[in-house]
Amino acid sequence: MTSPAGAGSAAEGGGDGGSAGDAASGPPLSEVADDAVAWLRGFQAERGTSVAVVHHLGRSGARIVAIGPDGRFGDAVVESVAAAEQVCRRAGVEMKSWDRETSGLVAITPADRKKMAGTGR
103-113 burial string, b = 16+ CB within 10 Å, else e?
Answer: eebbeeeeebe
Distance, in Å, from the CA atom of 7 to the CA atom of 121, rounded to the nearest integer, reads: 26
**121 falls within a domain:** no
pLDDT, tens only, 15-47 = 344 444 444 457 788 999 999 999 999 999 999
The whole-number pLDDT of residue 13 equals 36
Whether the CB-CB separation of 10 and 87 falls below 8 Å is answered with no
pLDDT, tens only, 98-108 = 989 998 899 98
**90 falls within a domain:** yes
Sheet holding 73-78: strands in order across? 73-78, 62-67, 51-56, 94-96
pLDDT > 80? residue 4: no
Distance, in Å, from the CA atom of 11 to the CA atom of 14, rounded to the nearest integer, reads: 6
Stated pTM of the model: 0.73
Phi, psi values for residue 66, rounded to 5°: -95, 135
Strand partners, 67: 51, 73
Q: What is the rounded average pLDDT of the residues 68-75?
A: 93
The whole-number pLDDT of residue 5 equals 36
Question: What's the domain range around 50?
Answer: 10-115
The whole-number pLDDT of residue 118 equals 58
**97 falls within a domain:** yes
pLDDT > 80? residue 70: yes
**88 falls within a domain:** yes
**4 falls within a domain:** no
Q: How far is CA 25 from the centre of its chain?
A: 18
**2 falls within a domain:** no
Distance, in Å, from the CA atom of 99 to the CA atom of 114, rounded to the nearest integer, reads: 24
Q: How far is CA 30 from the centre of its chain?
A: 16
Number of domains the chain is built from: 1
